[in-house]
């Protein structure tokens, strides 16, 4: 019998992530000698024994107040950072929009950064050349393509980064709040594109405080609270509970 179970593309098991928070930092040689044996840091548990699976084609929102661990979880999925305990397994080509302009070289032009950034995502020169016009057109930055990106505004950074990411043809797209940077017109354009990718069966995981957009886009929401999963379920069920808690 054919197995019709959805394919798991992100599998998080028993995941814990901590960071050391330092204080009384020694700035001089004398202070370093005085504080040498002092335990001058705290261990902050950002994620505490997280377990979740994301299936192929799901559009999932990670919600929660600032400091709840949403962005950290996204970075663990991309393997920018690694857990102290547990595992994160990703099955499929992944592209991410986690930090504005990450992967851009400030002195390269917009066009040069398209080639540079796309190659980081694993595209060949031929593949990039076949998509460069689509990237430029979507970004609406054609008049600025030959300018160094250090002259770009934060909104222009976001436009270029998003335009590149959606044209990599990845299986999984991770987005962390940067869509909030753009103007209303471009935000709507981005969400329209995300809905199109959703209809094509792409997997999307998005961190956002924009609950209205989450309700429009995401079928599933995971509410993180103090590094733990508070509720994982249908967006229509999770969002009202989250709003009730936060108001």
Q: CB of 105 within 8 A of CB of 44?
A: no
Report how far residue 95's alpha carbon sits from residue 187's, in angstroms, rounded to the nearest whole number: 19
Which residue bears the tokens 């960071």? 19
Report how far residue 84's alpha carbon sits from residue 78's, in angstroms, rounded to the nearest whole number: 15
> Whose CA is closest to 174, among 200, 196, 194?
194
* pLDDT of the residue at 36: 54
* pLDDT of the residue at 13: 97
* pLDDT of the residue at 42: 79
Residue 59 falls inside a structural domain: yes
> Whose CA is closest to 106, among 116, 97, 96?
116
Burial 88-126 (b: 16+ CB within 10 A, else e): bebeeebbbbbeebebbeeebbbbbbbbbbbeebebeee
What residues make up the domain containing 214?
A: 1-35+44-92+173-178+202-247
Residue 164 falls inside a structural domain: no
* pLDDT of the residue at 23: 66
C-alpha torsion angle, residues 63, 164, 103, 154 (rounded to 10): -70
Residue 71 falls inside a structural domain: yes
Residue 4 falls inside a structural domain: yes
Report how far residue 23's alpha carbon sits from residue 30's, in angstroms, rounded to the nearest whole number: 16
Residue 53 falls inside a structural domain: yes
Residue 135 falls inside a structural domain: no
Q: Provide φ and ψ at 181, rounded to 5°.
A: -75, -35
* pLDDT of the residue at 70: 95
Residue 49 falls inside a structural domain: yes
* pLDDT of the residue at 6: 60
Q: CB of 202 within 8 A of CB of 172?
A: yes
Residue 26 falls inside a structural domain: yes
* pLDDT of the residue at 39: 58
* Structure-block tokens of residue 178: 């940067």
For every residue of 35-92, DSSP letters joined together read: TTTS--EEEEEEEEEEEEEEETT-EEEEE-STTSSHHHHHHHHHTSS--SEEEEEE-S
* pLDDT of the residue at 1: 43
* Terminal-residue alpha carbon distance, the chain: 50
* pLDDT of the residue at 184: 85
The segments of the chain whose pLDDT lies below 50 read 1-2
* pLDDT of the residue at 3: 52
* pLDDT of the residue at 68: 93
Report the relative pairing of strands 203-207 and 228-234 from DSSP bridges: unpaired
- Say which CATH number the domain at 63 has: 3.40.50.300
Tally the domains of the chain. 1
Can you give the pTM of this predicted structure?
0.86
């Amino acid at each position: 019998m054919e197995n019709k179970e959805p394919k798991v593309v992100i599998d998080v098991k028993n995941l814990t992530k901590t960071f050391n928070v330092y204080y009384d930092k020694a700035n001089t040689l004398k202070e370093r000698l005085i504080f040498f044996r002092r335990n001058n840091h705290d261990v902050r548990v950002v994620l505490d024994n997280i377990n979740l699976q994301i299936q192929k084609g799901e559009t999932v929102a990670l919600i929660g107040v600032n400091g709840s661990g949403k962005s950290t979880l996204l970075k663990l999925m991309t393997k920018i950072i690694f857990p102290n305990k547990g595992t994160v397994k990703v099955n499929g080509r992944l592209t991410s929009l986690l930090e504005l302009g990450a992967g851009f070289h400030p002195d390269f032009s917009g066009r040069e950064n398209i080639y540079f950034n796309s190659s980081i995502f694993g595209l060949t020169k031929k593949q990039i050349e076949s998509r460069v016009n689509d990237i430029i057109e979507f970004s609406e930055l054609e008049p600025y393509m030959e300018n160094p990106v250090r002259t770009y505004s934060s909104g222009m950074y976001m436009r270029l980064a998003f335009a590149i990411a959606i044209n990599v043809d990845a299986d999984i797209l991770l987005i962390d709040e940067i869509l909030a940077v753009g103007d209303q017109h471009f935000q709507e354009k981005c969400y329209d594109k995300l809905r199109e990718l959703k209809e094509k069966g792409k997997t999307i995981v998005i961190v956002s405080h924009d609950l209205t957009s989450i309700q429009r886009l995401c079928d599933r929401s995971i509410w993180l609270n103090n590094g733990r999963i508070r509720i994982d379920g249908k967006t229509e069920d999770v969002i009202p509970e989250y709003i009730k808690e936060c108001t």
